[in-house]
Amino acid sequence: ISKVKILDVPFVNTTLNEFIDHILNEHILKSKKASIVTANPEIVMHANEDSSYMQILHHANYVTADGIGIVKAAEKLGQPLPERVTGYDLMKGFLSKANQQKMSIYLLGAKDEVIQLAKENIQKTYPNLEIVGYHNGYFNWEENDIGEEIKQLKPDFVFVALGFPRQEKWINQHIDQFDKGVFMGVGGCFDVWAG
Ligand code: UDP
C-alpha cells in the first residue's frame, strides 16, 4: 500500500474495501500483528503540535483518512486519496469478516455499562465471531494485567476505545508485547454500538 503525506502524517492510499482485504491477507492470514490509527483533522493538528504523538503515528503500521476533511486536504495538496476510511466503517468491516470467518475479537475501553451493552449488541449482530474478552477503559496504566490478558487470549482483532490520543498511546506502548492481532483505536465507537 502506498502512502501520501499530509502535514507529515503518512496516510494509506487505499479504499476501505481494499484496506480491509489487505489487513486480512497480510496480517490476519499470516498471524502478523498490525496497528492502525484512523486519523481525523484533529489528530493531524495535534500531531503537528506534539512530536511524541507524531512519532506514534509514524510508528503505527497504517494511518487511514478518517473523514472527508483529510480527503479534501489531500486533493488540494495534489496527492489525492480515493475515499475516507473511518474508524466506524473499518470496525464494521472487520466485524463482518470476523463473523464470516469465525475470528476472535477483544474490546477495550468505555465505561463498564457501555462496554457490556456494546458487547451484547455486537454479539447479536455478528453471532459467529467470538468475543474472547473485554475490559472497561478506566484502569491503571501502570498495572499491565490487560496487556497480559490480551497476550494470552491472542484475539485476531483488538478494538481500543479510550478516546484520542489515549488509545493510540496505549496501543503504541503495548504492541511490542503481543505476538499477533490487529490493533485499532476506535474512539467513541463502543458508545455507538451500545445504542
Ligand atoms: N474513555 C475511556 N477511558 C478514558 C477516557 C475515555 O475508556 O480514560 C472512553 C469514553 O468512555 C468513550 C471513548 O473513550 O467511550 C471516547 O471518549 P471521548 O469522546 O472522550 O474521545 P474522542 O471522541 O475525543 O476520541
Residue 1 has pLDDT above 90, yes or no: yes
pLDDT single digits (tens) 111-159:
999 999 999 999 999 999 999 999 999 999 888 799 999 999 999 999 9
Q: Whose CA is nearest to atom 8 of ligand 1?
A: 138
Q: How far is CA 116 from the centre of its chain?
A: 19
What is the distance in A from the centroid of ligand 1 to the CA of 83?
26
The Å distance, Cα 173 to ligand 1 centre, comes to 18
Q: Is 195 exposed, middle or buried (0-12, 13-18, 19+ CB in 10 A)?
A: exposed
CA distances from 175 to 41, 70, 164, 185 (A): 25, 26, 17, 12
Give the Å distance between the CA of 24 and the centre of ligand 1.
27
159 CA to centre of own chain: 6
Separation CA 29–CA 124 (nearest Å): 25
For residue 25, report the distance from its CA to the centre of ligand 1, in Å. Answer: 31
- pTM of the predicted model as reported, rounded to 2 decimal places: 0.97
pLDDT at residue 177 in the model: 95
Phi–psi pair at 32, nearest 5 degrees: -110, 125
pLDDT digits (tens, 9 = 90+) for 18-71: 999 999 999 999 999 999 999 999 999 999 999 999 999 999 999 999 999 999
Give me the pLDDT at residue 143, please.
Answer: 81
Nearest CA to ligand 1 atom 20: 163
What is the total count of domains within the chain?
A: 1
CA of 183 to the centre of ligand 1 (A): 17
**CATH number of domain containing 48:** 3.40.50.2300
Q: What pLDDT sits at residue 132?
A: 98
Q: What is the pLDDT of residues 154-189, one digit of tens each?
A: 999 999 999 999 999 999 999 999 999 999 999 999
Q: Ligand 1 site: residues with CB under 6 angstroms?
A: 109-111, 114, 137-138, 161-164, 166, 187-188, 190-191
Q: What is the pLDDT of residue 8?
A: 97
Q: What's 110's DSSP letter? A: S
Query: Which cell is 148 given?
Result: 497480559
Q: What are 86-107's pLDDT values in tens digits?
A: 999 999 999 999 999 999 999 9
Backbone angles phi, psi at 139, to 5 degrees: -145, 170
Q: Which domain holds residue 187?
A: 3-194
Q: Are 104 and 130 in contact (CB under 8 A)?
A: yes
Query: Which of 139, 162, 167 to mutate to test ligand 1, by most ligand atoms within 8 A of the CB atom?
Result: 162
Question: Contact at 8 Å (CB) between 77 and 140?
Answer: no
The predicted pLDDT at position 48 comes to 98
